[in-house]
Amino acid sequence: MADHHKPPELDLRSRHVPGALTADMKRFDIFLIDTGWNTGVSKLVRSHLPLLYEYQRQDSLYILTPEQSVELLKRAPDAIGRDPIVAVYDHVLPGGRRAQTYRGFRLNLGLIRHPEQALLRLQEFIRFIAMHRTARCLECEVVRELHRQGFNGMVKILREASTELL
């Protein structure tokens, strides 16, 4: 008898949140997309997933299998070879925006060849999420902080993205 698991139903649409944002509320869905192209970085990222989860317990962390990652990247071929990718979908919509869009950002760790450098980028990424999780305009913080630090190309802001990369 085959084991048929129904994938979880995910609603990645951002929405307006009334009131103040708090550090302990769920804000993000975090996905690890990893086909295994970059073996050294893949092993490093996977070994640090428990620590990533410890810092983001209020959010959901989804670890895609290599097969799921390949299927996903077929829909977003511009991201092939950039994995492991940590994709973060933000459920908080800045004021004045439509609620039918997906918002967030992704860290393309596959662009890094040395695992030690990838670990530093992952640490900075986790620190960024922890420090700015209550920001009303997270996109503004991404542009200001991460891009200023030279992450251009490694961090891609997902503006009104489709589900092509989740």
**Per-residue pLDDT tens digits for 109-153:** 988 888 988 898 888 888 888 888 888 777 777 777 755 655 544
pLDDT class of 164 with cuts at 50, 70, 90: very low
pLDDT class of 159 with cuts at 50, 70, 90: very low
Q: How far apart are alpha carbons 101 and 99 in whole angstroms?
A: 6
> For residue 136, what pLDDT is reported?
79
Nearest 5°: the CA angle 105, 134, 99 is 60
- Beta carbons within 10 angstroms of residue 65's beta carbon: 10
**Per-residue pLDDT tens digits for 56-107:** 888 888 899 999 999 989 988 888 989 899 998 888 776 655 555 667 788 8
